[in-house]
Amino acid sequence: MPRTCISLALVLAALTACATEGGRPTSAPCPTLSRGDGSAALPPGFPVLNDQRLYGRTSQGKTTVVFGVVPGDDFVGIRDDLVRRLRSSGYTIAGTDQELVEAEAEFSAPRRGTVRVQPRCAGQLTVRYTFND
């Protein structure tokens, strides 16, 4: 094999090793998070996922976004778990959506907003809670 073909083959192999499978990280190590943000709390009575760690919060007008991470790889399963917990807590689910790289749910009553779950790295998922009230 000519030297150029071997070099190209090595580059392609390296890119494939760093690629994602179905939009999900395959083996990317999880970077460590800071200790988190004490103001990154969910509203009182809002369902909490097992082993969830909240690490950020931002607000603009009446919209508040809270960011968290949970262990796991099944972002659709975590979204579905949240939907069950929301319903059990009295929330109405307006709809759900999923794609290759994320799963979402829209909720209302007593609060209105959305939740989005997506892969962060191997074995860890990011959860974004958006509250619009």
The 3-state DSSP class for residue 5 equals helix
If one counts the domains in the chain, the total is 1
Task: Please report whether residue 34 resides in a domain.
Answer: yes
CB 69 within 8 A of CB 124: yes
Task: Please report whether residue 33 resides in a domain.
Answer: yes
Task: Please report whether residue 41 resides in a domain.
Answer: yes
The per-residue pLDDT for 33 is 67
Task: Please report whether residue 60 resides in a domain.
Answer: yes
Task: Please report whether residue 11 resides in a domain.
Answer: no
Reply yes or no on whether the pLDDT at 11 is more than 90.
no
The per-residue pLDDT for 29 is 80
Per-residue pLDDT reduced to its tens digit, 63-82: 999 999 999 999 999 999 99
| Burial category of 82 from C-beta neighbours within 10 Å (exposed 0-12, middle 13-18, buried 19 and up) | buried
Instruction: Provide the 8-state DSSP code for 49.
Output: -
